[in-house]
Amino acid sequence: MTEPTHRRAVGAAIVAAVFGLLVVALTQLPDDHAPLPAVAREAMQVALPRWHITEPVNEVVYGTRGFDTFGETFLLLAAVVSVVLLTRPRERRAERSGEEQIGRQEEAGESSATDSDEREARGAEAEEVRDRDDSPPTPDVAPVGTPRPERAEEMTVVVRTAARIVAPVLAVAGLYLAAWGYAPGGGFPAGAVVLGVVLLIYAGFGHRRIARVTRPASVELVELLGAIGIVMIGLLGLFLKGSFFANWVPLAPEQTIRSGGILQLFSGAELIEVASGLVLAVFSLLVMRHDWSRDESDDPDAGTDR
C-alpha cells in the first residue's frame, strides 16, 4: 500500500460543504428567545419537586433520564474494556490458532521501512528500564540540588511539593461534586476529577509511587463492582416500585446531602465506576509495553498467566 496522498483542496471543500449544511439547519432553528420546549418545562416544574432536588441537570442526568446515563455507563465500560483488550500483553493459550500463522505472514509482507525507527524505540525503552533499576526508590530520597540529569519519570521538588498540596484539595473538590447532588456536578465529572488526582501524583512522583493503587486487577475489580452497584440500583426500582430506575429511597428534604433519593446513590456508584474506569484505561495505555510482533519465545510477559 502506498502512502495516502493528502488532497487538501478536496478535504477543504468537503468540510466547507458539511459546515454549510449545518449552518443552514442552525439558522432555521427557533432562536434564543423562543419559549422553552414542553419537555424542558416539565423537567423544571414537575420533575424537580418530585425528586426533592434543586439542580435540574442532575435531575435529568441521574433522575428522569437516568436510563440514558445507565447506557452511557456501559458505553464507558465498553470503551475501557476495549482499551484493556487492545493494550493487553500476550497471554498463554492452550492451543495454536490459525490467526497466529496469518499474523506472521502479514508482518513478513509489511515494508521494512520502519525497522530503524522500531529499533530506536526499543533501544530507548530498554534504556529507560535500566535507568529505572539504579534510581532511588522514591524521588524524595535523592538530595535536592544534586547536579544529575532529572529522569523523565520524576519531577523537581517544586512540582512535588505543589502536587502534595493540590492533590488533596482536588480530591476533596471531586468528592464534593458527587456528594452534594443539589449543586451542579455528579458522579461523572467527579470521576474525571479523581483521575486528575491520580495523574497529578503520577506526574509528580513517577509510576512506582502509585503502582500499587493502579494495579489493573484491583482497579478492574472496583470498576466492575461499581457497575454492579448501578445495575442493582435500577433493579431494586423494578422489584420494589415496579419500574427500572424508579426511586425506592425515601426522599430527604431539599438541599441536604441525602436529597434526591436514588439519584445520589446512582451518582455515587457512577463516581466509583467512572474514576476506576478512567484510571484503568489511562494506565493500560501508559504502561503498555507489550510487543505482539515479537516472537513469543523472547516475550517476558508470556506465561505470566499461570
Partner 1 sequence: MSDAALASLLPLTVVIPIVGAVAAPLSARVSRSLPLVISVLAMAGTTAVLLLLAPTVYSGHILTHFMGHWTPVNGKALGIAFGADAFGLTFALVCATVGGILLLYTLSELGRLGRRELGGYACLFQLLLAALIGSALTGDLFNLFVWFEVAALSSYGLTGFFLERPLALEAAFKVLVLTTIASFAVFVGTSLLYAQHGALNMGQAHDALAGGVHTADLVALGLLVAGFATKAGLVPFHGWLPDAHTAAPGPVSALFSGLMVNLGVIAIARLTLQVYGPHGRPVLGLVVVVGCVSAVMGAWLALGQDDLKRLLAYDTISQMGVIAVGFGVGTTAGAAGATYQLVNHALYKALLFLCAGNIVHATGLTKLSEMGALGRHRPITAAAFIVGAAAIAGVPPLNGYASLGLIHDALRDGHPAVFAVLLGAQVITIAALVRATYLAFFRKRDATYEDLEPIRPGMLTAFLLLAVGCVALGVLPTVVLPHMIAPAAGALLAGAAYSRGVLHAPVSPLPVPHVAFEYFAPSEFGTVAGTVLLGLVLAWWYIRRPTQPRLMSLVRSWHTGSVNDYAAYAAVGLIVAVAVMLTG
- The interface with partner 1 within residues 223-262 (CB under 8 A) comprises 224, 227-228, 231, 234-235, 237-238, 241-247
Cα dihedral sign, 226-229-231-237: negative
Among residues 9, 33, 94, 116, the one that binds partner 1 under rule CB under 8 A: 94
C-alpha cell at 250: 425515601
Residue 130, classified by CB atoms within 10 Å of its CB into exposed (0-12), middle (13-18) or buried (19+), is exposed
Which residues, 6+ apart, have CB-to-CB distance to 76 below 8 Å?
Answer: 273, 274, 277
Residue 298 sits in the site that holds partner 1 (CB under 8 A):
no
CB closer to partner 1, 204 vs 260: 260
Cβ 149 to partner 1 shortest distance, Å:
35
Q: Given candidates 12, 57, 79, 172, which one binds partner 1 under the rule CB under 8 A?
A: 79
DSSP string, 212-275: TTT-HHHHHHHHHHHHHHHHHHHHHHHHHHSSTT---SPPPPTTSTTTTTHHHHHHHHHHHHHH
CB of 299 to partner 1, least distance (A): 12
138 binds partner 1 (CB under 8 A): no
Residue 84 CA to residue 78 CA, distance in Å, equals 10
| Residue 40 beta carbon to partner 1: minimum distance, rounded to whole angstroms | 7
Provide, rounded to whole angstroms, the least separation between the CB of residue 213 and partner 1. Answer: 19
Output the smallest distance, CB 248 to partner 1, in A: 10
Q: What are phi and psi of 300, to 5 degrees?
A: -65, -20
User: Closest separation between CB of residue 247 and partner 1, Å?
Assistant: 7
Measured between alpha carbons, how far is 229 from 217 in angstroms, rounded to an integer?
Answer: 18
Q: Is 117 in the site for partner 1 (CB under 8 A)?
A: no
- Spell out where the chain has E strands: none
Stretch that binds partner 1, among 13-21, 135-143, 180-188, 281-289 (CB under 8 A): 13-21
Residue 144 binds partner 1 (CB under 8 A): no
Binding part of the chain for partner 1, among 4-12, 126-134, 137-145, 148-156 by CB under 8 A, reads 4-12
